[in-house]
Amino acid sequence: MNEILYLDHNATTPIRPASAEAMVEALGVTGNPSSVHGDGRTARRVVEDARDCLAGLFGADAASVVFTSGGTEANALALTGGRRLLVSDVEHASVLDARGDAERIPVDGDGVVDVEALDEMLAASGEPAVVSVMLANNETGVIQSVPAVVEVARRHGAQVHCDAVQAAAKVDVDVRDLGADAVSLSAHKLGGPKGVGALIVIDDDLGAPMLRGGGQERGRRAGTENVPGIAGFAAAAADAVGEIGAFAGLAALRDDMEAALREHVPGTRMFGAGSERLANTSCFASPGIAAETQVMALDLAGIAVSAGAACSSGKVAPSHVLRAMGIEEDTADKAIRVSLGRTNTVADIERFVAAWTALHSETASVRPTALVA
């Protein structure tokens, strides 16, 4: 049986050895980081060293780093509150569903936020507002111009939150350059453990605590800190940021893959390719085969890809991101995502292209279908 070929790194990526080592070492620390005795102070030092590390990597003050259980909690923590909320139409579900009253900011055909529309939406009301726009889309890899969003928001006195979960350590992320009031991060997207993340809070007036009762994390997030997870997060981030240049090299693999897919299956559409994208991400649709069928068939061939975001176990549904981009449902429901990682090679791309092409050849021989470009 072929070794599993993992091409779903945007869902999660393998843990980095440095992260695993840091976690094992932290597991040997007994104390509660809120205790004042020696063991407690040792645990606190692990947490604060990690906080310092992440702050340095992402251009923040250490006091602004609030540890959470992951990106979803970080997003919710930033967006909890009574202010008017505007979110881009292509946000992660944790932002779209953070509040039932969120207003949607439209995007263009590549999934880039329409800043003129945002300007008009903010101008329509003098009510205090929060704008949430991700840095890089988890499905298409499209990168947003967050500083441009911030510029518009500032003209109307609005705060800005940026979900940088998918972008961190894949592109350079400096919160000072972004200009946002809060930025969300997650460990397992960059080679750290699952179940730990952070919200970098620049403006203390943004958001409100959801968990109370212990005073940890400057009163923003009660509960004993996940010391091993936090240690692993920092170690992974340091490792990943140091390899941003190598990560950029994945664009060559992705581009070669996309060219081969178009050659073998004419009519294949690449989404977001007209805009700047993460180097590792490709979202595409081709004639005739539903996304769910492709994902299952490739899984049987030992290849792991996804359709949309990996957020609800067992669910494969048409992408809300593609629909927001104006992609017709008959095409959106055939889209899959390939997301590469540091472990992938030219041979991996060749294996995927061969398997995907064979699947489409088999289907085309039974029921050829044209995909409108």
Q: Which two tokens stand for residue 9?
A: 């790194």
In sequence order, what are the residues at sequence separation of 6 or more whose Cβ sits closer than 8 angstroms to the Cβ of residue 72? 94, 197
The owner of tokens 């992951």 is: 70
CB atoms inside a 10 Å sphere around CB 110:
17
Q: Which two tokens stand for residue 350?
A: 């060749």
The set of catalytic residues is 311
DSSP state of 363: H
DSSP state of 306: B
Backbone phi and psi for residue 308, each to the nearest 5 degrees, phi listed first: 75, -150
Among the listed residues 168, 189, 372, 188, the one whose alpha carbon sits nearest the alpha carbon of residue 266: 372
Cβ atoms of 184 and 201 closer than 8 Å: no
Evaluated on CA atoms 63, 67, 71, 73, the torsion sign reads negative
Distance CA 181, CA 275 (A): 25
Distance CA 236, CA 199 (A): 17
Rounded to the nearest 10 degrees, what angle do helices 346-366 and 291-300 cross at?
120
